[in-house]
Structure 1
Amino acid sequence: MELHQVRYFLAVARTLNFTRAAEMCNVTQPALTKGVQKLEQELGGELIYRERQLTHLTDLGKAVLPMLERALASTEAVRRQAWQFQKKEVATLTIGLAPSISASLIVEPIAEVRKFVPGLHVELREEPQTRLVELLLEGEVNVALVGDLDEMPERIDDWALFEERYVAVLSPSHELADRPVIAMDALREANILDRSYCDVAPKFQHLFPDASPHWNYRSCRDLHLQHLAAAGLGIVLAPEHMPRLPSLKALPIEGDPVWREVRLLNVQGRRFSPALDAFVKAVRLRDWSLHTGCQGEHHSARDSVGVSA
């Protein structure tokens, strides 16, 4: 089945006149008739009754008409999309974010890309870090922002963007909420709300050789734990820039003992689209210290303790 045959049939179905249909398709009437006949042969039956004044669709013609209309429309949409992509008028960019990475961190890089690709289409996918690596390799995600990874998989390129400290996220009504800094001995007695998909607990437990905090509540969803924290049931130990409920407050931990590095990931050797290339450059060249406050004095605090995330 050729697309021009479908186009000829649809023109006849619209006009019920072979002469006008040929004019619409800018072909001769014999060429249009021959194309419709070939389509009928492929479909195994007549599509049009050819009568001088009563040309009309057969039952088979009526049955296949909507399907052929959709097929032609889809084909033309694909052609338009391909043309727009080649002209850089339309580009799709799928960005993976680990659950503790705020989308606010990439708003400005996306805005930069849109200056060069006005038709940019962006999809944000939030997944656990190990799943994001899988999606990168499968081609479902173009690029990802993650926290610390225990081991960098093969075929993955990564760039360190910035470091951020862990803070205590809690309700303003919590008994520790009025303190300017949460002391380590206070954490030892507190109820800690644990994110079960990550390694926050080990990061802090080694700081308590004699006793550990109470890890009474656990969930794989940050939002669930934050609602528990909002109810005063405990403290969430979280990266400083993790998205959080507006009803919660974040307090520094004495000595800033635990940090993590936020990294940008993509697949080695995979060809970048113009949109992906622009996004990666915008993220890597960004001066993160101006936006996250994760440089300067925070580095000195971390170095004085000598503990890394």
Structure 2
Amino acid sequence: MELHQVRYFLALANTLNFTRAAEMCSVTQPALTKGVQRLEQELGGQLIYRERQLTHLTDLGKAVLPMLERALASTEAVRRRAREFQQKDVAPLAIGLAPSISACLVLEPIAEIRKFVPGLDVELREEQPSRLVELLLEGEVNVALVGDLDEKPDRIDDWALFEERYVAVLSASHELADLPAIGIEALREAIILDRSNCDVASKFQRLWFPDVPPNQIHSSCRDLHLQHLAAAGLGIILAPEHMPRLPSLKALPIEGDPVWREVRLLAVQGRRYSPALDAFVKVARLRDWSPHTGSRLRSEHHSRLEAANIVE
């Protein structure tokens, strides 16, 4: 099936006149007629009743018309997108986020690079860290933010952006909500909402529940689902401090701040960076993350300042 044949048929379906359809397509009438006939041969049936005064679509023509319209529109959109890309009118950037990394972390870097990367087109994709590594290598995402990562291929560049503590998130009406901090014994007795595939679950298990598993009745792989459960008083979430919270929830420190994790930036080593990717990596690595994620956060930026004796 040739695109010009589809275009000829759509023009004819719109005008129901071979002469006007040929003029719309800037071809001769015999050329248009031949193109429509070849399309009919390929589809295995007549699309147009050719009558002098009553040219109209057949039932087959009516059936395939919307599909051919969508096919032509999609093809034209692809061409337009390719043209914009070649002209640098579009700068795509696919960012992968591990489930425990909130999109709020990348909003300000995106806004910053948008100022000097025209046509920035961002796609955010949430996957497990191991899957994000695969998507990086496959070229499906350009860069990824993950938490603790067990292992990664040598081909993956890896930069530590900052460290953050985990806190207890609970309803303001929860019986423990008025404490200045929550102790480990209280957590052992409380209902802990289970975040499926949590990247620091092994740390919680090792530190607080070495012999008996936590009391976990409710679970979800979505932070928002867990927050609604917590807001209903059904348990406590152990969450990274940067995670945005529902207004009815509050975050309490855990005594001694026992659990911290790194947030890391991943990209494929040796792969040519697009302007959008290059800008994002530079902004992310140079950014001071601590004001955005909490005063207790230890950022790479802050560490560099301390090393230079700029921060007391």
Same fold (TM over 0.5): yes
Which has the larger displacement, 172-181 or 251-260? 172-181
Partner of 1:73: 73
Q: 1:175 to 1:36 in 2, by over 3 A?
A: closer
Partner of 1:179: 179
Distance in structure 1 (CA, Å) of the matches to 2:182 and 2:66: 67
Distance in structure 2 (CA, Å) of the matches to 1:102 and 1:247: 19
1:280 aligns with 2:263: no
Q: CA-atom RMSD, angstroms?
A: 3.7
What SS does the aligned partner of 2:298 have?
Answer: coil
Higher CA-based Rg = 1
Cα pair 1:114 1:120 within 8 Å, conserved: yes
Shift of 1:148: 0.8
Q: Which of the numbers 287, 295, 298 marks the counterpart of 1:295?
A: 298
1:217 aligns with 2:239: no
Look up the equivalent residue of 1:22 and give its one-letter code. Answer: A
1:239 aligns with 2:226: no
Runs of 5+ unmatched residues, structure 1: 301-309
Distance in structure 1 (CA, Å) of the matches to 2:236 and 2:111: 35
1:152 aligns with 2:152: yes
Q: How high is the sequence identity, in percent, across the aligned residues?
A: 80
Cα pair 2:170 2:250 within 8 Å, conserved: yes
What SS does the aligned partner of 1:159 have?
Answer: strand
Distance in structure 1 (CA, Å) of the matches to 2:92 and 2:133: 19
Partner of 1:56: 55
TM-score, length-scaled by structure 1: 0.75
Q: 1:12 to 1:262 in 2, by over 3 A?
A: same
Q: 1:194 to 1:5 in 2, by over 3 A?
A: closer
Distance in structure 1 (CA, Å) of the matches to 2:225 and 2:47: 60
After TM superposition, the structure 1 = structure 2 runs for residues 190-269 of structure 1, keeping only pairs within 5 Å, are: 192-195=192-195, 197-198=197-198, 200=200, 202-204=202-204, 207=207, 215-217=214-216, 219-221=219-221, 222-223=223-224, 225-227=226-228, 229-230=230-231, 232=233, 234-269=235-270
Shift of 1:83: 1.7
Which has the larger displacement, 63-72 or 38-47? 38-47
Distance in structure 2 (CA, Å) of the matches to 1:34 and 1:208: 78
Distance in structure 2 (CA, Å) of the matches to 1:224 and 1:69: 40
Shift of 1:248: 2.2
Shift of 1:161: 0.9
Q: 1:2 to 1:238 in 2, by over 3 A?
A: closer
Question: How many correspondences in the alignment?
Answer: 296
Q: 1:20 to 1:267 in 2, by over 3 A?
A: same
Look up the equivalent residue of 2:215 and give its one-letter code. Answer: N
Shift of 1:96: 2.6
Distance in structure 2 (CA, Å) of the matches to 1:295 and 1:231: 32
Cα pair 1:194 1:201 within 8 Å, conserved: no
Distance in structure 2 (CA, Å) of the matches to 1:205 and 1:20: 75
Cα pair 1:187 1:213 within 8 Å, conserved: no
Runs of 5+ unmatched residues, structure 2: 304-312
Cα deviation 1:184-205 (Å, max 9, x = unaligned): 5655665554545236454245
TM-score, length-scaled by structure 2: 0.74
What SS does the aligned partner of 1:107 have?
Answer: helix
